[in-house]
Chains A and B, each alone.
Chain A
């Protein structure tokens, strides 16, 4: 019986091993290679790549910026996603299906198309600035800067926050909030003491998903940053494709992955207490 279960999981395990574990090991290996001007990497191994990333303020700054984008995106997604998730979870409106489709809509087209959509809106002569212009305002610089990148990141990753949070809220009995009210809690206190802790499983998943996805986003900072915004992923691709510095690119990618992983673990540890009580 147990063996049979394993057999069913085998195709997936093989896929993961082949396309995730092996490439990752390859990247780890690559990050210890020496650079070469003529081949992908030179002879022998070195830790020089790591030394460079971890001591050069340019790369540390880049890492900080990337994580700040991810943090900002995650916070904004949580802030604007929670009310939407709450409404979707609790509404009995006949438009529920439509609302749901609306939430999923950012996932319906490719990220490149969506970025061009934002360019149309945010450009100096784009729709938003034209409208502001009618009121005698602007034009404001809304893209090729951190603002544009953050707007697009939030738009693209918002569903990854809303869906898990909505699931969590759906599993919370609406009577709990009412019970809190009858016991003397204001709407705000009822939210903070009852709904919020009980939605933690969804908030945790959503925060981790959005954080990891936005920290590793490449196309959005590329297109909406227009070369003015650098993040770890854009620099990694520059190293690989532009400078053909594969070992150093691999190191940058790994440092980003490990830092993000460490932050996720830290977040998990901080929310562990709340999670244990909910589960």
Chain B
């Protein structure tokens, strides 16, 4: 049974449509990210689930219970805001205790739960501090503790890491994910950062213009994007256009002006149709010689990225693609090169 179910959610702000016909099921204990560029409706969706926006249409269910019209305070959710929204006039302890107090938990029971959650987010000893006396990372943990202490049915996070510096953000990704798994709490997470969603999520919901473009596991979204938009939003992608010359058993062979290559597909494609294949930069292999390669090109530039080397390569018709190879056995900075496509990692787009 799904813990959270969104059915045909619509939300418009005075004629401007923010979310359109959104359906989503989130299973018990699952971590689902809403991923997309700003203005794609991901935050609006989250706010509808939180009860902070009233949907223009559709239903929201927690388990069997329809909560579409239920006020936020009766929904048993925990929410972390991008700005953390800690109460500046309350100490860390009072901030965390607020939710318990509102739900009628007091005395030693409250003390025990606050102490426990402070231990969970590793903030022991800071109970009497005010939020302004905390670092960004500590404020973030207080916000998490405050959201979790009342043991909500659903944890909602709205870009919680956007205001942290890069190093801390990396740490917090793993911290939040492992905490979520330890507690087994159903989580809906909003972000515009694709690597963040990949690291943390069981499933990713990719949204553009108020609509869902794809729902899938991180691997699925990365390797088998549903559209060119999804492909280029999630990591780097080369788009190779051509005509199908052969198609069987989930493999299509594509003919282009500069050669032919094979790619995977999950649908039957007619021979002769014009298609676009998505090939990740690391799914292409470069060789110096003229062995059995799919096609050839010319290296325009080479950039050292640390773990990999990025090559810009011009194909025969002028198309520029990006290829990433391990640093070892680096090729020269320019000149002719042979290219082979890894068939399993090349994907035919719809």
Question: Which residues of chain A have a CB within 8 Å of any CB of chain B?
Answer: 173, 175-176, 178-186, 189, 193-194, 197-198, 274, 277-278
Contact = CB atoms under 8 A, between A and B. Distances in A.
Given A173-B83, A176-B85, A278-B89, A181 B98 contact: no
Contacts of B102: 180, 183-185, 189
Contact of B87 (A181, A194, A274): A194
Closest 9 CB pairs of A and B: A184-B102, A183-B99, A175-B85, A179-B85, A181-B72, A277-B89, A182-B79, A185-B102, A184-B103
Contacts of B75: 182
Given A179-B86, A274-B89, 19 more contacts: A175-B83, A176-B85, A176-B87, A178-B50, A178-B72, A178-B79, A179-B85, A179-B87, A179-B146, A180-B102, A181-B73, A182-B51, A182-B75, A183-B146, A183-B150, A185-B73, A186-B71, A277-B130, A278-B88
B88 A198 contact: yes
A180 B95 CA distance: 10
Nearest to B102: A184
Contact of B78 (A175, A180, A182): A182
Nearest to B104: A184
Nearest to A179: B85
A7 to B, nearest CB: 35
A42 to B, nearest CB: 57
Contact of A175 (B81, B98, B147): B81
Given A175-B85, A178-B72, A198-B89, A193 B79 contact: no
B52 interface: yes
10 contacts: A173-B83, A173-B85, A175-B81, A175-B85, A176-B87, A178-B52, A182-B72, A182-B156, A185-B73, A278-B89
Contacts of B130: 277
Interface string B87-98: 111100000001
B77 interface: yes
Nearest to B79: A182
B143 to A, nearest CB: 8
A181 B99 contact: no
Contacts, number: 69
Contacts of B146: 179, 183
Nearest to A171: B88
A181 B52 contact: yes
Interface in B228-283: none
B189 to A, nearest CB: 15
Contacts of B78: 182-183
Given A175-B81, A189-B102, A193-B98, A182 B73 contact: yes
Contacts of A178: 50, 52, 72, 79, 81, 85
B85 A186 contact: no
Residue among A173, A181, A197, A274 having the largest count of chain B Cβ atoms under 10 Å: A181
B52 to A, nearest CB: 5
Interface in B41-93: 50-52, 71-75, 77-79, 81, 83, 85-90
A89 to B, nearest CB: 17
B89 A182 contact: no
Contacts of A173: 83, 85
Contact of B50 (A182, A186, A197, A277): A182
A185 B77 CA distance: 12
A93 to B, nearest CB: 11
A36 B81 CA distance: 72
A184 B89 contact: no
Contacts of A277: 89-90, 130
A180 B94 CA distance: 12
Contacts of A193: 98
Given A178-B85, A197-B89, A184 B73 contact: yes
A180 B52 contact: no
A187 to B, nearest CB: 8
A172 to B, nearest CB: 9
Nearest to A200: B89
B65 to A, nearest CB: 17
Residue among A180, A189, A197 having the largest count of chain B Cβ atoms under 10 Å: A180
A186 B88 contact: no
Contacts of A185: 73, 98, 102
B52 A182 contact: yes
A179 B103 contact: no
Contacts of B73: 181-186
Contacts of B156: 182
Interface in B134-158: 146-147, 150, 156
A248 B251 CA distance: 106
A181 B53 CA distance: 12
Residue among A179, A193, A198, A277 having the largest count of chain B Cβ atoms under 10 Å: A179
A54 B50 CA distance: 61
